[in-house]
Structure 1
Amino acid sequence: MEELIQSVIAQEAEAIKKIPVTEAFSKAVDLIHKQVHGRNGKLVASGMGKAGQIALNIATTFSSTGTPAVFLHPSDSQHGDLGVVQQNDVLLLISNSGKTREIVELVDLAENLYPGLPLVVISGNPESVLAKSADVFISTGNPEEVCPLGLTPTTSTTVMTVIGDALVVALMSKIGFTSGDYAKRHHGGYLGDKSRLQAGNGLPLSGK
């Protein structure tokens, strides 16, 4: 069992190392910055199933670090929740296959609401309909799942999470996000106390 677990960890770590780091990352950061911090829009993240859970995590992490973001469930978007989208927003859509029906439909719905709404796509399929419709396409590298059936989203969702973290950290750097800024958005718990302590001591977010 220990050998199996070590193998899983090793495979996922290797998949992270193989994420294609291209200019798409900087283009995505610049686009999100322009829409959110330049035009007072927000980031709207969406995904279906487990990819949706990753999108939710990315949205909440962006929000807590100075870039307003919300999660929009693609199915709920067809029943009124599309109304959360505004004309200066930017969509961040996650789909491993790049052809998830609900996400493809969300693109059409958003385009009908606000034509030309910018779109960032994270996917493992550069030839997919979503990838080709994106303003910025970020590839996961399409890693093999560690699931023994090759079916359950495992490695792919790990890679998606890391890509989201990279975008968040890059935006924090671009906007000069500080411990004081963090404290204003995170009042409770250990992190709230820590951020206020760092801000009071004039320390940056890293504590260095």
Structure 2
Amino acid sequence: MQQSMRKILESESRAIANIPVSDAYDRAVELIVEHVYRRGGKLVTSGMGKAGQIAMNIATTFSSTGIPAVNLHPSEAQHGDLGVLQPNDVMLLISNSGKTCEIIDLVHLTHNLYPQVPLIVITGNPDSELSAMADVTLATGASPEVCPLGLTPTTSTTMMTVIGDVLVVNVMRITGFTREDYALRHHGGYLGRKSRGSEN
């Protein structure tokens, strides 16, 4: 077990270190800051399956750090939930393959409603159909999954989470989000007490 754990930790650490660093991150952060912070829109995240769970986590983290965000299930979007979308929003779509049919359909639905809404894509396949439709593509580097079958989303979801963290932290930095701002949005629990300087 310990040997397996070390191997997994080494593999995932190596995968994170190999995430391509590019000016695409500057463009992605600027889109979020411009559309949400300056224009009063929101960030709409979406993904299918495990990627959808990462998308939801990214949305809730952004919301707690001053960037209003919602997670839109791509299938429910086809049954009316697309109505949450507004003209000044920006979308963050996650698909490891870049071929997820529900996400591709969501892009078409979005463009039919608001063609000007920009798309940021996190994917392991920067040459995919989804990437071709994106304004900005953030590539994970497509390191192999640590799953012994090479199938279960493991390493890929770790990299998606890290990329989400990079976006959140840099948007916080640019918008000047403070501890006091955090306290106003996170009243309960240990973090709420810590943000107000009363940890006990």
Q: TM-score normalised to the size of structure 2?
A: 0.98
The amino acid that maps onto 1:15 is: A
1:152 positional shift: 0.4
Match in the other structure for 2:84 = 84
Query: Match of 2:78, SS?
Result: helix
For residues 51-98 of structure 1, the C-alpha deviation after alignment (integer angstroms, 9 at most, x for no partner) is 000000000000000111000000100011000000100000000000
**Cα separation, 1, equivalents of 2:30 and 2:40:** 14
Match in the other structure for 2:70 = 70
**Cα separation, 2, equivalents of 1:69 and 1:79:** 20
Matched, 1:38 2:44: no
Query: Match of 1:93, SS?
Result: strand
**Cα separation, 1, equivalents of 2:111 and 2:33:** 21
Report how many aligned residue pairs link the two structures: 198
**Cα separation, 2, equivalents of 1:35 and 1:116:** 11
Query: Match of 1:79, SS?
Result: coil
1:116 positional shift: 2.1
Match in the other structure for 2:104 = 104
The amino acid that maps onto 2:21 is: V
Matched, 1:29 2:29: yes
**Cα separation, 1, equivalents of 2:143 and 2:57:** 21
1:38 positional shift: 1.4
Match in the other structure for 1:186 = 186
Query: Match of 1:91, SS?
Result: strand
Query: Match of 1:197, SS?
Result: coil
Query: Match of 1:12, SS?
Result: helix
Matched, 1:197 2:193: no
Unaligned segments of structure 2, at least 5 residues: none
Match in the other structure for 2:5 = 5
Match in the other structure for 2:135 = 135
**Cα separation, 1, equivalents of 2:116 and 2:36:** 16
Match in the other structure for 2:156 = 156
For residues 145-199 of structure 1, the C-alpha deviation after alignment (integer angstroms, 9 at most, x for no partner) is 000100000000000000000000000000001010000000001100010118x
Unaligned segments of structure 1, at least 5 residues: 199-208
User: Percent identity, aligned pairs only?
Assistant: 65
Query: Match of 1:75, SS?
Result: helix
**Cα separation, 1, equivalents of 2:14 and 2:92:** 25
**Cα separation, 2, equivalents of 1:21 and 1:155:** 18
The amino acid that maps onto 2:162 is: V
